[in-house]
Amino acid sequence: MAQLSTQALNNLKQITTNATADATQDIPGATVVIVGKDGKELFASATGKRGVGSKEPLTLDSIFWIASCTKMLTGIACMQLVEKGKLSLDDAAQVEKLCPYLKEVQVLQDDGTLVAKKCGITLRMLLSHTVGFGYTFFNEKLRDWSKPVGIDEFSGSIRDVQQPLVHQPGEAWEYGLGIDWAGQLVEKVTGLSLNDYFQENIFKPLGLNNINMFPTESMKRNLVYMNFRGVDGKLVPEDHLLRKSLVAQTKEEIASTFNSGGAGCFAKPQEYCQILATLLNDGTSPTTAAKILEKATVDEMFRNQIPQFPNFGRRGIPAAKPHLTNALPDLYPVPDGRPQGWGLTFMLTGSDTARTEGTGNWAGLANLFWWNTMIEIDSLATDVSVLVALAVEWGLYGASLPFFGLTIRELSQATPGRKVNKLLILLALTFFMICTATVIVDVVHAIIGFITLRGTISASAFFAQPGPPTMVTRGFLYMAITVLADAVVAYRCFVVWNSRVIAAIPWMMWLGLVSACIGVWYDLFRIRHNPESVWVLGDWIKAFYGSSLATNLISTGLLAFRIWSINRYHDSDGQRLRNSTLMNFMRVVVDSGTIYSVFLIITLIVFTCGSNLQFVLTNAMSPIICIAFYLIIIRVEQANRRSVVESVFNTKDAVLRQLPEIVETKMDGESNDGTTSTAAQATRRGPDSVV
């Protein structure tokens, strides 16, 4: 079970106590609840009073109108029905059949006129706020259109949510009534009111008794007041906005009240947090073990649905009705203009801030806030991971130097009938120079982050940026050595198999790698001038890793099979090998570049998971590549000096082309008494001659 330190708990308590010290100048009361994925509370505190002028203390049993925090609950309900095949995220015909108003709704123009919408409305649009609905208290155009009668989205009447769109479906992000209409889809499909559906399919399975659109009498007794801050900055009491839901008592009154999927619930914070804990636990309640969503569905809810609008929250939201809301210049600021994201009903943190990247969060009009850190906080801090990465990189670079020296020595030794292989010397020198340059750039990058920019930006923030010149340079060097290494692997595959058809497969993968490399390189330059495009870079990097991995796995598999097959049947004296399986295995691991492939797989997994361990592994990649290929070259050169066969980089290797004939000759060359003919001996080659 995760725990907060005593100091952290004391700090949290002090912050909430200080914030509620003056009910009129600060806030009258505050409840803070923190839970882990096991559902157990890490912190729970209620301080202050239930409202301005109230003498009743705020407690953990107090009930809040959670306003737009209801939206996440409606999203869960919709996704449950998507899992059951009763709703589809992308079927506009289904949506407009269930809710005919969504088929006929028009689009409000700046001049106040209405025009037909150009495309259908989908559930995904409703849940991601790209459908075009707004709120009159956030959209001045919509507010003015509703005059002189006006619109009250909290009236409890469906008429007040039957508003026009403020833009064409799918063309922009606009915070509004879309999720209220998603709640209507739930009612149409199930035949239940939205509140009844919540109770039966979410609240009861999770053991929650204090979340409801129509508060029970005990909930009403603990209801927190509403307050309004006047122009003088002081808070004054205010009536509840959802009055119809609070006063409804008879079945008829409840049935006539619109169930707002966007803002209709009242809740006890501790119980709401149990729903958050269920999402943290991949859709299964950690306390009741009830599964309300599949893990894949939770993942989809926390996936960015609107990458095409990376700055949707930076447009600002005006206070069209100042008595209800303040203006919002930026929904949730993130550093360096990094892209903002929106899941299915809530915002996603675009990069590490005080919250980790990918954290889901949203709020309610009455100053309710929630957030869910779906990715476990990395135990290796960014700045610490950079230092560890440098240490590992220097250690591996130092380890690669003896192998480099031995490689040059082996390549520089001419033998009778065989010249010095200048091409391989050039290849080894290229690997060495790129690796050395990478180490130097990484040191410079660390000096800038830890020393040069001290006092202007935190080291962690600097190292998290993809655009500094040192990062761009390092990216180029890393891509260069990877492309070169994969080209060598693909070429060795062609040499060893001596088949253009078989070699075509890794070469096609290699061309994909080059394309991804160009994409990464292009975006590394672009984000320096246009930070909004940073979200594309991650996809290009994954494509780069994936292409490199595909090239390596295919090439390594082909090489390993070929080398193992030959080594298994032939030793250097033409005799069948016995009890040498381990030796053959080690030769295959070295000669096929398996070390490089395995390391690449680990790096891709870590990068996909977003762990800071990626700093360590990417720094280690260049020296690992060099060591792997130095070993290959050393093995090749040592084999060449013991064999009449030319280097494996020579495509005229008769032994490799004629493996079937070699095996057949061996079979035919054995006499009945177990001896071997001279002709058979002459056609065989040792295992070292084919690597």
What's the whole-number average pLDDT of the chain? 82
Residues 601 and 686 in one domain: yes
Q: How far is CA 450 from the centre of its chain?
A: 27
Render the burial of 180-202: b for 16+ CB within 10 Å, e for the rest: bbbbbbbbebbebbbbebbbebb
State how many domains the chain has. Answer: 2
Q: Please tell me the predicted confidence (pLDDT) of residue 687.
A: 34
Provide the percentage of residues in the chain whose pLDDT is more than 90. Answer: 44
Residues 114 and 178 in one domain: yes
* pLDDT tens by residue, 248-283: 999 999 999 999 999 999 999 999 999 999 999 999
Q: Please tell me the predicted confidence (pLDDT) of residue 470.
A: 86
Instruction: Please say if the pLDDT value at position 362 is more than 60.
Output: yes
Q: Please tell me the predicted confidence (pLDDT) of residue 526.
A: 66
Q: What is the mean pLDDT of residues 638-654?
A: 49
3-state secondary structure 406-451: HHHHHHHCCECCECCCHHHHHHHHHHHHHHHHHHHHHHHHHHHHHH
Domain membership of residue 419 (yes or no) is yes
pLDDT band at 637 (very low <50, low <70, confident <90, very high): confident
For residue 243, the domain's CATH number is 3.40.710.10
Residues 70 and 218 in one domain: yes
Instruction: Please say if the pLDDT value at position 120 is more than 90.
Output: yes
Segments in 53-121 forming alpha helices (H) = 70-83, 92-98, 100-104
Instruction: Please say if the pLDDT value at position 240 is more than 80.
Output: yes
Q: How far is CA 170 from CA 119, 143, 180, 238, 444, in A?
A: 9, 22, 17, 37, 45
Domain membership of residue 367 (yes or no) is yes
Q: Which residue has the higher pLDDT, 464 or 31?
A: 31
Instruction: Please say if the pLDDT value at position 468 is more than 80.
Output: no
Q: What is the mean pLDDT of residues 238-248?
A: 94
Instruction: Please say if the pLDDT value at position 356 is more than 90.
Output: no
* pLDDT tens by residue, 23-54: 777 889 999 999 988 899 999 999 999 998 88
Among the candidates 353, 372, 391, a domain finishes at: 372
DSSP H or E segment with residue 4:
none
Residues 400 and 548 in one domain: yes
Residues 343 and 445 in one domain: no
Residue span of the structural domain in which 394 resides: 382-690
**Angstrom distance (rounded) from CA 649 to CA 423:** 10
Q: Please tell me the predicted confidence (pLDDT) of residue 417.
A: 60
Q: In what order do the strands lie in the sheet with 266-267?
A: 64-65, 266-267, 211-212
pTM across the whole model: 0.59
Q: Which of 64, 267, 262 minimizes the C-alpha distance to 158? A: 262
Instruction: Please say if the pLDDT value at position 455 is more than 60.
Output: no
Residues 332 and 446 in one domain: no
Domain membership of residue 21 (yes or no) is no
Domain membership of residue 409 (yes or no) is yes
Residues 498 and 389 in one domain: yes
Q: Give backbone dihedrals phi and psi of 241, rounded to 5 degrees, phi first.
A: -75, -35
Q: Please tell me the predicted confidence (pLDDT) of residue 609.
A: 63
Residues 317 and 399 in one domain: no
Residues 346 and 406 in one domain: no
pLDDT band at 608 (very low <50, low <70, confident <90, very high): low
Residues 483 and 572 in one domain: yes
* pLDDT tens by residue, 137-184: 999 999 999 998 889 999 999 999 999 999 999 999 999 999 999 999
Among the candidates 314, 340, 372, a domain finishes at: 372
Domain membership of residue 428 (yes or no) is yes
* pLDDT tens by residue, 49-102: 999 888 899 999 999 999 999 999 999 999 999 999 999 999 999 999 999 999
Among the candidates 372, 399, 420, a domain finishes at: 372
CA torsion 570-576-582-584 (nearest 10°) is 0
Domain membership of residue 318 (yes or no) is yes
Instruction: Please say if the pLDDT value at position 379 is more than 70.
Output: no
9: exposed, middle or buried (C-beta count within 10 Å: 0-12, 13-18, 19+)?
middle
Q: What is the mean pLDDT of residues 207-232?
A: 93
pLDDT band at 448 (very low <50, low <70, confident <90, very high): confident
pLDDT band at 573 (very low <50, low <70, confident <90, very high): very low
Residues 363 and 442 in one domain: no
**Largest Cα span, the chain:** 111
Instruction: Please say if the pLDDT value at position 284 is more than 60.
Output: yes
